[in-house]
Chain A
Amino acid sequence: MAARLTVDCLGLSFQNPVLVASGTFGYGDEYYDIMPFSRLGGLVTKTVTAAPRQGNPPPRVVETDSGMLNSIGLANVGLEVFIREKLPWIVQHAGGARVVVNFAGFSVDEFIGVGAGLAGCRGIDALEVNLGCPNVKAGSIHFGADPATVREVIAGLRGEVGLPLVAKLTPNVADIAALAEVAVEAGADALSLINTLPGMKIDVKKRKPALGMAFGGLSGPALRPVGVACVYKVYRRLQEMGAGVPVIGIGGIATGPDALEYILAGARLVQVGTASFVNPLAAGQVVAELAAWCENEGIGDLSELVGVAHHGGN
């Protein structure tokens, strides 16, 4: 019997638990001919901000051991163009996949304004709030690191927006479980974790940082143990709180077993990020490998595995 990969989350049914992460699959069209996101659980779009952004000076990306650093600086087309030119195409091509729109602001008011602007659009299944892009100097690092601000942003959005709200947390904090708790209390319907970790690479030959902005966000397999630990911690805290809020696991997922680590740690859904750059077919392969694994292990419904690592496995 083929395993059931369908997952219920956020009051929605996802055809499988694998989404593609914000900033790593564009607006869905770039890879569509190669890897149609309609086969996935969902597409999370690149962070959109109120105004268009050019982003940071180059170099913006550099390879590191088992990963990469980026300092893109939230380059995006801005809310107006996104709604007019990008979103309709995405909605039209989504097929069975869910459309999750990721956004950010540079003040609490801007966060709420962008959220409210998106809330009225047809075809969006959920909103993901980028609380932690560590690239932009004056940007959202302040939101994600400070519990009071997280509360203000999420509660403010909750008051304006009827769509499911996913708070995407940064690992660059002392206690991610405490922030998760604040986000849930403020009204988040789910938590996505994690965003990138701050890092730097120095070009020894040139004797200066390899990135134009010096600092960047670390992603890829090197990030996976950090992400799995964060999901594990947050899942446990949510259990203790008695909150049935789902966790979405992100960080270094490139294969079925990678995704299973997150699911066993407590993630209901996962997102594949940097792996798509290495192989644009990666997210589809994660789905196939999950299905094959379940079949092999005699798992009828993948959801049964969520958080199982907390109970000593089998």
Chain B
Amino acid sequence: MIPVFRWVEVSDIRKMARSTYELSFPEPESASKIGPGQFCMVSPAPHTSDVFLPRPFSYYRVDGPGTIRILFRTFGRATRWMAGLAPGSRIGVFGPLGNTFTLAPQARRAILVAGGIGLPPMAMLAGRLDALDEPPEIDLIYGEQAGDRIVDVGSDLPGRVRLHLCSEDGAAGQKGLVTGLFRPLIAGCDSPPAVYCCGPGPMMAALAGLVSSENTALFEVSTEENMACGKGICKGCVIPMTTPDGSVSYRYCCTDGPVFNGFEVKWPHA
């Protein structure tokens, strides 16, 4: 699917949890072809913001006739600008970009792990896996630092997906980290499951420490790095990979990824 750059008008924006918003906009052509893990670059219309570079956001939901939703959290200049958008605001959208998660996991069970604002691609993936002809059993673990940041994702998920919530402050779901929920789940699998993950680097690194080629059929992660172009041109968005001889090798988050084999990523703390 060839990505398209276009100016669109925001259809809707809603606050979903503390600092967390859902933004909808029309995507007439490509909506049905977007895969879980793919992302778009969002930029302000000229002279409407001091944001300069576009920013990457995963697709969260693709609605019926051509509406896209993304879910974002405010961190800095760009996401604060986005939080101030209103229906009718013009934004630039460039997408769909990047690769997708493997949708034929060759496993009877899939465990999806979402940390914080890593939720969007995991939520879309859960829906797509469930829609397969022979869907795996799906567990979605979703954790936040604070309970008031938890997005009510359950109502949008297919009924068969088992949602496991946790928060570090214990205000929602089980108190603790996603790894705390992951350990018993994987231990209870009678055959190696497919494990998919998106979240902050340290969380993904911790998860990488709990999986191995023996207990996991597939381990895929969605990575993040600063981007300028989103299309493999600026050479800005490198993710370090492990190589057999121990040297570093770089892959590009925007074109080789954002989804990578989690066994190959060089984790900062692993």
Contacts and interface: CB of A to CB of B under 8 A. Distances in A.
Interface of A: 23-26, 30-31, 33-34, 46, 54-55, 57-68, 70, 72, 75, 220-221, 274, 276-281
B255 to A, nearest CB: 8
A142 B231 CA distance: 31
Given A63-B53, A68-B53, A34 B3 contact: yes
Given A26-B233, A70-B236, A277-B234, 9 more contacts: A54-B249, A57-B248, A58-B226, A58-B250, A59-B225, A64-B52, A68-B52, A277-B228, A280-B5
Interface residues of B, number: 32
19 contacts: A23-B234, A23-B235, A24-B233, A30-B231, A33-B2, A33-B3, A58-B225, A58-B236, A58-B237, A58-B240, A61-B228, A61-B236, A63-B52, A65-B52, A67-B52, A68-B228, A70-B236, A277-B53, A279-B43
A3 B115 CA distance: 56
B205 interface: no
Contacts of B123: none
Given A26-B233, A30-B232, A276-B229, A281 B77 contact: no
Interface string B214-254: 00000000000111110111111111100000001110000
Contact of B236 (A25, A64, A72, A220): A72
B232 A72 contact: no
B233 A60 contact: no
Interface of B: 2-5, 43, 50-54, 77-78, 92, 94, 225-229, 231-240, 248-250
A279 B53 CA distance: 9
A279 B225 contact: no
A279 B52 CA distance: 11
Please classify the interface of chain B as helix (H, G, I), strand (E, B), loop, or mixed, using the class held by over half of its residues. Answer: loop
A63 B5 CA distance: 20
A90 to B, nearest CB: 14
A99 B228 CA distance: 24
Nearest to A70: B236
Nearest to A219: B228
A57 B2 CA distance: 30
A75 B77 CA distance: 28
Given A54-B249, A55-B238, A55-B250, A66 B52 contact: yes
A63 B77 contact: yes
A25 B233 contact: yes
A70 B233 CA distance: 13
A68 B229 CA distance: 12
Given A276-B229, A278-B43, A55 B235 contact: yes
Contacts of B249: 54
Contact of A60 (B2, B52, B226, B232): B226
A62 B227 CA distance: 8
Nearest to B252: A75
B52 A220 contact: yes
B54 A60 contact: no
Contacts of A67: 52
7 smallest A-B Cβ distances: which pairs?
A61-B236, A26-B233, A75-B235, A277-B228, A63-B53, A277-B229, A61-B228
Contacts of A63: 51-53, 77-78
A72 B235 contact: yes
Nearest to B226: A59
Contacts of A60: 226, 235-238
A278 B52 contact: yes
Nearest to B6: A281
A31 B231 contact: yes
Contacts of B232: 26, 30
B265 to A, nearest CB: 13
Nearest to B225: A58
Contacts of B225: 58-59
A223 B151 CA distance: 41
A278 B227 CA distance: 11
